[in-house]
Amino acid sequence: AMDRDKRWERVAQAFASLVDGRGERAGSPRAAVEAAYARGETDEFVKPTVIDGYAGMKDGDGLLMANFRADRVREILAALADPAFSGFARARVPALAARLGMTEYSAELDRLFLALFETENLTKILGEVVADAGLNQLRIAETEKYAHVTFFLNGGREQEFPGEERILVPSPKVATYDLKPEMSAIEVTDRLVEAIDSGRFDLIVVNYANGDMVGHTGVLSAAIRAAETIDACLGRLERALIEAGGAMLITADHGNCEQMADRATGQAHTAHTLNLVPAILVNGPASIVGLRDGRLSDVAPTVLGLMGLAQPREMTGESLLVSGSAVKAAGRR
């Protein structure tokens, strides 16, 4: 139900269970999970299951979507409410009396759903500041993470900023990403190197999906292969950026594949972690001698500092860059 890569065969199963009560059946949620485990299904891949007594949706019913992750609900909501939906054939679409969501999900869905909480209008965010400076920027990712470098990075906006371009690379169509832990990282890197060599962009933002998506499978050998793939890709980017005279900041917003087993039970660990993530600066300016510890809100000010752009008052974070002059001044004190 929370697919975001147009794997319509998955969404169709969720649609059938919600609308018509068709699918795997169980007497209780606990029984449904136990049956899924018996079939060899892990938490992420439990098949849509209908609990005894549920008969589906009727005309006149209301729909409340409690998920606030826009990228994870767009497909199922479009199937349930959009008359123009074409992802798969729908035998029946209930005439709903009301459609509500926790937030605004997309320009198309906002015409069909009432948002309980409107999206906060964020101003002077990273992409906007770069655009206001008259600079060009590129956003690139494979489809599993495309929304992260576009919709989310732009403060919940679908539209590009002036001077912003986007490259979308299809993710591989496999049942689970442990079957192809490289995902589309090599293809993404090919396009990235081309973009760097072109000299057209002042800022390039990329999201490599492997560490997260392969980490969710819980398969250690696949996670190792994913890390090896990204290591090789980052090496290619480093060489291209040094040749072009650019800098690269590497970081993440959460952990995952660094912990592939539960320390208490020894079972596979498939969730995000709260571990600290690295912040690595490659080929930074000669005046920068290191990075201080910080938090996620410090990333945008750091990027602006590397680009020589002033940080707007709206950004509450602080640059992670540590200059040689600051170190000398601290030593004198």
What is the average per-residue pLDDT within 99-121? 92
Work out the mean pLDDT of the chain and round it to a whole number. Answer: 95
User: Which segments of the chain belong to CATH 3.40.720.10?
Assistant: 126-332
Out of 134-143, 225-234, 319-328, pick the least confident: 319-328
Higher pLDDT, 333 or 121: 121
Work out the average pLDDT over 39-67. Answer: 94
Residue 181 or residue 267, greater confidence: 181
In a 3-state reduction of DSSP, which class is residue 120? coil
pLDDT band (50, 70, 90) for residue 97 = very high
Contacts 24+ apart (CB under 8 A), 8-11: 8/75, 8/87, 8/88, 9/88, 11/75, 11/76, 11/79, 11/87, 11/88
Tell me: pLDDT of 293 over 80.
yes
pLDDT at 327: 58
108 burial via Cβ count (<10 Å: 0-12, 13-18, 19+): middle
What pLDDT score was predicted for residue 330?
A: 57
Structure tokens, 49 = 């299951």
- Given a cut of 80, is residue 259 above it in pLDDT? yes
Q: Using one digit for the tens of pLDDT, what is the confidence trace for 263-287? A: 999 999 999 999 999 999 999 999 9
Confidence of residue 45 (pLDDT cuts 50, 70, 90): confident
User: Is the confidence at residue 307, as pLDDT, over 70?
Assistant: yes
Q: Calculate the CA 132 to chain-centre distance.
A: 25
Separation CA 77–CA 2 (nearest Å)? 10
Contact between residue 229 and residue 182 where contact means Cβ atoms under 8 Å apart: yes
pLDDT of residue 128: 98
User: 136 and 201 in contact (C-beta within 8 Å)?
Assistant: yes
Which residues sit opposite 64 in a β-bridge?
A: 100
Average pLDDT over residues 214-232: 97
Cβ-Cβ contacts under 8 Å for 312 (sequence gap 6 or more):
124, 129
pLDDT score, position 331:
57
Could you tell me what percent of the chain has a pLDDT over 70?
A: 97
Residues 6+ apart with CB under 8 A from 328: none
Q: What percent of the chain has pLDDT over 90?
A: 89
DSSP letter, residue 171: P
pLDDT of residue 119: 82
Which pLDDT belongs to residue 329?
59
- Average pLDDT of the residues in 96-115: 93
Interval 73-89: pLDDT, tens:
999 999 999 999 999 99
Q: How far apart are CA 2 and CA 5, in angstroms?
A: 9
The predicted structure's pLDDT at residue 328: 58
pLDDT, residue 332, reads: 56
What is residue 43's predicted lDDT score, i.e. its pLDDT?
83
Residue 17: Cβ-neighbour burial (10 angstroms; 0-12, 13-18, 19+): buried
Please give the distance of CA 329 from its chain centroid, rounded to a whole number: 40
The CATH architecture of the domain made up of 126-332 is 3-Layer(aba) Sandwich (3.40)
**pLDDT value at residue 27:** 97
For 232, residues 6+ apart whose C-beta sits below 8 A from its C-beta are none
Apex 71 CA angle, 262 and 108, nearest 5 = 165
Query: So what's the pLDDT on residue 44?
Result: 81
User: For residue range 118-172, what is the model confidence (pLDDT) as tens digits?
Assistant: 888 899 999 999 999 999 999 999 999 999 999 999 998 889 999 999 999 999 9
The phi and psi torsions of 203 (rounded to 5 degrees) equal -140, 130
237 has a pLDDT exceeding 60: yes
